[in-house]
Copies of this chain bind each other. A is one copy, B any other.
Amino acid sequence: MTHPELQVSQWFNTTNDISLKGLAGKVIALEVFQMLCPGCVRHGLPLAQKIATTFPQEKVAVLGLHSVFEHHNAMTPVSLQAFLHEYQIDFPVGVDEAGKGNIPKTMEAFQLRGTPSLLLFDTAGRLRAHHLGNLSELALGAEIATLLSEGAANETQAEGMGARSECNAEGCMI
């Protein structure tokens, strides 16, 4: 895995300990948002919800990451919890761990430039797409399916070859 891991202080909508590494084998759609960001509420989060209902859970994992970089007092975990309830967001959402300045740790590690950001990871755990702002659903659907197809092809290939020796606990290398 050539990219950072999630650094989360608290999870909602899950009792599991979630990591990108632990989801290897699935395509991951990571929606990075702030609850008071209008573009996140209008576009980013509804799109993440559609991904969750369109693709089977065992193939595509949808995660939210609440990366607050402004108005920190206004977007506390208490407010976030009510927000998730009211907007009926039921996929796992992590609170990005506070950093030294305004930018939380995961956001800084991935060098994200704002919210909403949508990150796509392939079944081998590699970061494959990074979108900021509003997206074409048609193009996004195609991107996710392409990553799924690659994963299926890899599995078939691996089965044929007997082993995927290039994959280790950190993920899979090219």
Contacts and interface: CB of A to CB of B under 8 A. Distances in A.
Chain A interface helix/strand/loop/mixed: helix
Interface residues of A, number: 38
A138 B51 contact: yes
Interface in A47-68: 47, 50-51, 54-55
A170 interface: no
Contacts of A149: 145-146, 149-150, 153
Indicate how many identical chains form the complex: 4
Interface stretch (A18-26, A72-80, A121-129): A72-80
A102 interface: no
Interface of A: 36-38, 41, 47, 50-51, 54-55, 70-71, 73-76, 78-79, 81-83, 85-87, 136-146, 148-150, 153
Given A73-B79, A79-B79, A145-B146, 17 more contacts: A36-B86, A37-B86, A50-B136, A54-B136, A54-B139, A54-B142, A55-B142, A71-B82, A71-B85, A71-B86, A74-B78, A74-B79, A137-B138, A138-B141, A145-B145, A145-B149, A153-B153
